[in-house]
């Protein structure tokens, strides 16, 4: 475990957060490193969910999105998480997510999200969180899962296929576990003009 930098844009959001994690490769065993990163991200976001919004559903997808670090003059390996806040409480949620999502999720502050990012693996150098509006989380999510992305370093699994982590709210009628991984289902998020020009499969 090591110290790392935290940044946020001070913007509350009821729609979601973009979380960026900069890492520094220290091992040739990339698979193990990425597994450790995934487990840590899931643990931190799950803790934030339980503390900040336990009645509502949260979902996230992630993908690698390297960026140029002008200060260092090098390409920085980064992972981006698209965290969606569902306005649908668990009392109305079903596993197939067939009912439209409402817009009633209370605003969340990125600073409060970051407070749950602790005890990072030693290769983590920075974590940044930004509250975003509905269109931004929509577009970033779509780009993250695309098989042929414009801005991400690697292609995603595609719509209805890319792995998605779900944290369920407390008042549930489902037998699913409190947190599980499923193919992403953004088609049911009721985002405006979505999937739009992307088509039904991208």
Buried b (16+ CB within 10 A) or exposed e, 55-67: ebbbbbbbbebee
Instruction: Please give the helix or strand (H or E) that residue 52 lies within, else none.
Output: helix 30-52
Of residues 10, 56, 25, 80, the one with CA closest to residue 167:
56
Judged against a pLDDT cut of 70, whether residue 27 lies above it is answered with: no
pLDDT number for residue 150: 87
CA dist., res. 88 & res. 97, Å (int): 10
pLDDT (tens digit, 9 = 90+) per residue, 53-96? Answer: 998 999 999 999 988 777 777 788 899 999 999 976 444 455 55
Q: What is the pLDDT of residues 2-15, one digit of tens each?
A: 678 999 999 999 99
Confidence band (pLDDT; 50, 70, 90) for 136?
Answer: very high
pLDDT at 163 (0 to 100): 97
Q: What is the rounded average pLDDT of the residues 177-191?
A: 91
Q: What gap in Å lies between CA 24 and CA 184, rounded to an integer?
A: 28
Q: What is residue 140's predicted lDDT score, i.e. its pLDDT?
A: 96
Among 108, 65, 94, smallest CA distance to 185 is for: 94
Question: 188: how many CB neighbours lie within 10 A of its CB?
Answer: 14
* Total-model pTM: 0.88
C-alpha–C-alpha distance, residues 124 and 130, integer Å: 18
Task: Name the pLDDT band for 31 (thresholds 50, 70, 90).
Answer: confident
Structure tokens at 60: 């996230």
Using one digit for the tens of pLDDT, what is the confidence trace for 102-130? 557 899 999 999 999 999 999 999 999 99
Q: Greater confidence, 195 or 84?
A: 84
Tell me what pLDDT residue 196 has. 83
What local confidence, expressed as pLDDT, does residue 172 receive? 52
First to last CA, the chain: 38
Alpha helices in 74-200 (DSSP H): 110-114, 134-145
pLDDT for res 198: 83
pLDDT in tens, 157-183: 999 999 999 998 875 555 666 889 999
Residue 90: both structure tokens together: 């668990």
Look at strands 67-69 and 163-167 and give their pairing.
unpaired
Nearest to 17 by CA among 89, 97, 110, 100: 110
């Amino acid at each position: 475990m090591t110290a790392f930098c935290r940044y946020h844009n001070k913007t509350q959001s009821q729609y979601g957060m973009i979380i960026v994690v900069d890492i520094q490769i220290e091992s040739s065993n990339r698979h193990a490193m990425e597994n450790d990163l995934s487990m840590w991200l899931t643990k931190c976001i799950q803790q934030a969910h339980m503390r900040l919004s336990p009645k509502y559903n949260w979902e996230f997808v992630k993908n690698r999105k390297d960026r140029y670090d002008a200060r260092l003059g090098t390409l920085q390996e980064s992972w981006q998480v698209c965290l969606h806040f569902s306005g649908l409480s668990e009392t109305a949620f079903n596993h197939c997510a067939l009912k439209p999502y409402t817009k009633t999720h209370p605003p969340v502050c990125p600073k409060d999200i970051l407070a749950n990012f602790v005890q990072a693996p030693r290769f983590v150098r920075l974590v940044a969180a930004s509250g975003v509006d509905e269109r931004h989380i929509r577009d970033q999510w779509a780009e993250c899962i695309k098989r042929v992305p414009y801005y991400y370093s690697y292609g995603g699994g595609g719509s209805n296929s890319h792995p998605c982590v779900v944290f369920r709210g407390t008042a549930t009628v489902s037998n699913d576990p409190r947190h599980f991984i499923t193919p992403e289902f953004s088609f049911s998020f009721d985002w405006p003009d979505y999937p739009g020009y992307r088509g039904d499969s991208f």
